[in-house]
């Protein structure tokens, strides 16, 4: 899974609102070419994004946001909503038929992004700005994205920490507005948050997660300066950070938790089902209904279950699928004994993947990636792994983060399939390639179309067979477990948020169909509760890519080139599924014509 950029929910704007008006007025000036208008709007929107979310700037070599958080106050959300509407008005004033194919796609993608954000605001999704995996209780993880090599890097971090109380206050006001408007998170996922806040507040200041970067200041910074920085950090944490978190923790425990919704599903809130339908459309980039997706999930569960039974027969296990899954969950042979051994296992798998890529891709990214443990403070409440994309300016590689908490619940037979999803040929390969598409505007190179990104990650799991993985029958079963995991998501996410399922009902369905450990299953279900609709994107995106590949294979026969197919599929960055279908069918038409020419 690609880690959510939760800082979007915890940030403070620095620039005055950009003047959009002159650009919109200019649309009526006939001397402007339509293509130039689209390009100008896209450029101005990107400048607006960087002004609103200063944390993003460093990835482009701009240090001006290094001391800042973006604004998450109710007034900031209202202001952004109005400005996004102005961008929409500017784009809709341009006739798409007057544009070339690339400009038309750029316009359509930015419009979709803006309209999704506008709909989120109108449905009050921004008011549920915190859950067990996202929110200001995890703000220290921002340091993972930063470089600490100079004195200025540390001073910038100190200034950012001094601004943290304002961020917490803004978040509190946003959540209070959510209470007033009946837009609160589910009680079950919020029950973990007070403990997460408490873990940030340490009696020994040097054990604070905010102090971690000061423990090993590089030798390039002189001893006296390093000592002064450490003293300043301890003072800021003791006098500013800890008191602010105590106040925020009191608010969460005494006020917010008592107002959380008791039902897990978004559909239990006023107009909640309509809000969920919008989330479904946003994350899948399709017009599929929750009812249709629920049924697709049921059908996929049945198909994958049949394949699982084949593996069970092959290994000679005596018992049904539930008994086999329980055997996999509990037998020590399937688990590493220590976190260190588990990490070494992940690193060894990753080293085996890279040499196999040339069989499947004509173009590979220049940017490398590495394997890291998920920070210990957040590991108990997060998923098995996630990926952090590289910095666009090349200052940070991609990182594949793996969960080492309780290795006795991290099965060895899942490690290959997890690695191809999160690193290569999954997230790292796709995202790094997209970032290197210099002919695309920035918003396209950094596109976060979940159905494409996560659909590609899930599709990549199938590519493990082409790369010589899954030689062991248990690893083959692991691939099926992961495919089943995403099929189950279609059933339980729609079940929870649209059909009124209880949390336990969702857990039981998951457990009956996939060999994930109970600890993973509970974390997964709580993730779906706190993030409605996002989990649908994986399987819906994968099925679309598989359908396009099947169509090309059948049409081209022996002329089908898997490397050319993948290069075309990834050559426009992450795009909506309808646009992907158009792109790949145009490629297929061109390829068919080229193979039939005399």
Give a three-class secondary structure readout of 283-321.
HHCCCCCHHHHHHHHHHHHHHHHHHHHHHHHHCCCCCCH
Q: Is the peptide bond before 425 cis (omega within 30 degrees of 0)?
A: yes
- Phi, psi (deg, nearest 5) at residue 387: -120, 140
The DSSP output letter for 446 is T
Cβ contact 474:331 at 8 Å: no
Cβ contact 77:85 at 8 Å: no
pLDDT confidence of residue 29: 46
What is the rounded CA–CA span in Å between residue 504 and residue 522?
A: 9
Is residue 173 classed exposed, middle or buried when 0-12, 13-18 and 19+ CB atoms within 10 A define those classes? middle
Query: Going by DSSP bridges, is the β-strand pair 385-388/369-373 parallel, antiparallel, or unpaired?
Result: unpaired
* 373: enclosing H helix or E strand: strand 369-373
Is residue 450 classed exposed, middle or buried when 0-12, 13-18 and 19+ CB atoms within 10 A define those classes? buried
Cβ contact 485:300 at 8 Å: no
Strand-pair partners of 400? 371, 387
DSSP reduced 3-state for 55: helix
Q: Kindly report the CA angle at 86 between 82 and 91, in degrees rounded to 5?
A: 145
pTM score, two decimals?
0.92
Could you tell me where the beta strands, DSSP code E, fall in 77-126?
A: none
Strand-pair partners of 245? none
pLDDT confidence of residue 6: 36
* 371: enclosing H helix or E strand: strand 369-373
DSSP per-residue string spanning 383-421: -SEEEEPPPTTSSS-EEEEE--SSGGGSBGGGHHHHHHH
DSSP reduced 3-state for 369: strand
The DSSP output letter for 63 is G
pLDDT confidence of residue 364: 97
Tokens read off for 301 = 């569960």
The dihedral region occupied by 468, where left means phi > 0, alpha psi between -120 and 50, and beta the remainder, is: left
Tokens read off for 326 = 């329980």
Secondary structure, 3-state, 323-350: HHHHHHHHCHHHECCCHHHHHHHHHHHH
Would you write out the chain's pLDDT as a tens digit for each of its 598 residues? 554 333 333 323 333 445 565 555 554 443 357 899 999 999 999 999 999 999 999 989 899 999 999 999 999 999 999 999 999 999 999 999 989 999 999 999 999 999 999 999 999 999 998 999 999 999 999 999 999 999 999 999 999 999 999 999 999 999 999 999 999 999 999 999 999 999 999 999 999 999 999 999 999 999 999 999 999 999 999 999 999 999 999 999 999 999 999 999 999 999 999 999 999 999 999 999 999 999 999 999 999 999 999 999 999 999 999 999 999 989 999 999 999 999 999 999 999 999 999 999 999 999 999 999 999 888 988 889 999 999 998 999 999 999 999 999 999 999 999 999 999 999 999 999 999 999 999 999 999 999 999 999 999 999 999 999 999 999 999 999 999 999 999 999 999 999 999 999 999 999 999 888 888 899 999 999 999 999 999 999 999 999 999 999 999 999 999 999 999 999 999 999 999 999 999 999 999 998 665 5
């Amino acid at each position: 899974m690609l880690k959510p950029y939760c800082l979007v929910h915890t940030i403070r704007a620095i620039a005055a609102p950009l003047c959009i008006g002159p650009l919109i007025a200019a649309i009526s000036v006939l001397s402007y070419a339509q293509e130039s208008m689209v390009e100008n709007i896209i450029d101005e929107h990107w400048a607006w994004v960087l002004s609103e979310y200063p944390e993003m700037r460093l990835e482009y070599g701009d240090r001006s946001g290094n001391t800042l958080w973006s604004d998450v106050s109710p007034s900031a959300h209202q202001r952004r909503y109005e400005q996004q509407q102005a961008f929409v008005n500017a784009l809709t004033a341009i006739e798409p038929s007057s544009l070339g194919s690339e400009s038309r796609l750029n316009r359509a993608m930015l419009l979709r992004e803006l309209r999704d954000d506008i709909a989120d605001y109108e449905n009050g999704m921004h008011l549920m700005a915190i859950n067990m995996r996202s929110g200001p209780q995890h703000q220290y993880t921002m340091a993972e994205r930063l470089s600490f090599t100079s004195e200025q890097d540390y001073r910038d971090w100190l200034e950012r920490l001094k601004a943290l109380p304002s961020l917490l206050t803004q978040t509190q006001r946003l959540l209070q507005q959510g209470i007033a408007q009946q837009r609160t998170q589910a009680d079950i996922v919020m029950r973990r948050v007070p403990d997460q806040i408490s873990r940030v507040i340490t009696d020994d200041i040097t054990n604070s997660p905010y102090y971690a970067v000061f423990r090993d200041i590089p030798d390039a910074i002189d001893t006296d300066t390093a000592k002064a920085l450490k003293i300043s950090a301890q003072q800021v944490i003791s006098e500013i950070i800890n008191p602010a978190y105590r106040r925020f923790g009191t608010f969460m425990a005494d006020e917010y938790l008592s107002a959380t919704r008791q039902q897990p599903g978004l559909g239990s809130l006023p107009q909640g089902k309509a809000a969920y339908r919008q989330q479904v459309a946003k994350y899948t980039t399709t017009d599929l209904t929750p009812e249709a997706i629920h049924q697709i999930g049921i059908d996929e569960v049945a198909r994958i279950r049949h394949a699982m039974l084949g593996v069970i027969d092959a290994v000679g296990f005596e018992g049904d699928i539930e008994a086999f899954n329980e055997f996999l969950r509990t037998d020590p042979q399937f688990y590493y004994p220590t976190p260190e051994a588990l990490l070494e296992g992940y690193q060894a798998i990753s080293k085996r993947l890279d040499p196999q890529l040339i069989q499947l891709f004509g173009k590979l990214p220049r940017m490398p990636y590495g394997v890291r443990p998920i920070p210990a403070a957040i590991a108990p409440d997060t998923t098995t792994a996630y990926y952090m994309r590289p910095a666009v300016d090349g200052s940070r590689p991609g990182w594949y983060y793996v969960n080492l908490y309780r290795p006795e619940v991290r099965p060895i037979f899942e490690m290959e399939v997890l690695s191809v999803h999160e690193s290569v040929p999954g997230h790292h390969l796709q995202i790094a390639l997209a970032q290197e598409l210099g002919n695309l505007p920035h918003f396209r190179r950094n596109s976060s179309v979940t159905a494409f990104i996560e659909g590609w990650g899930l599709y990549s799991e199938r590519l493990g067979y082409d790369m010589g993985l899954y030689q062991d029958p248990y690893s083959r079963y692991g691939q099926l477990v992961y495919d089943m995991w995403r099929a189950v998501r279609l059933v339980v996410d729609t079940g929870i948020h649209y059909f009124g399922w209880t949390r336990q009902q969702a857990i039981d369905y998951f457990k009956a169909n996939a060999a994930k450990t109970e600890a993973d299953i509970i974390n997964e279900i709580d993730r779906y509760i706190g993030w409605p609709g996002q989990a649908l994107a994986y399987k819906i995106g994968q099925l679309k890519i598989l359908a396009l590949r099947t169509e090309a294979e059948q049409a081209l026969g022996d002329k089908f080139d898997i490397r050319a197919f993948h290069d075309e599929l990834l050559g426009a960055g992450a795009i909506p599924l309808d646009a992907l279908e158009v792109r790949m069918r145009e490629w297929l038409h061109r390829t068919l014509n080229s193979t039939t020419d005399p």
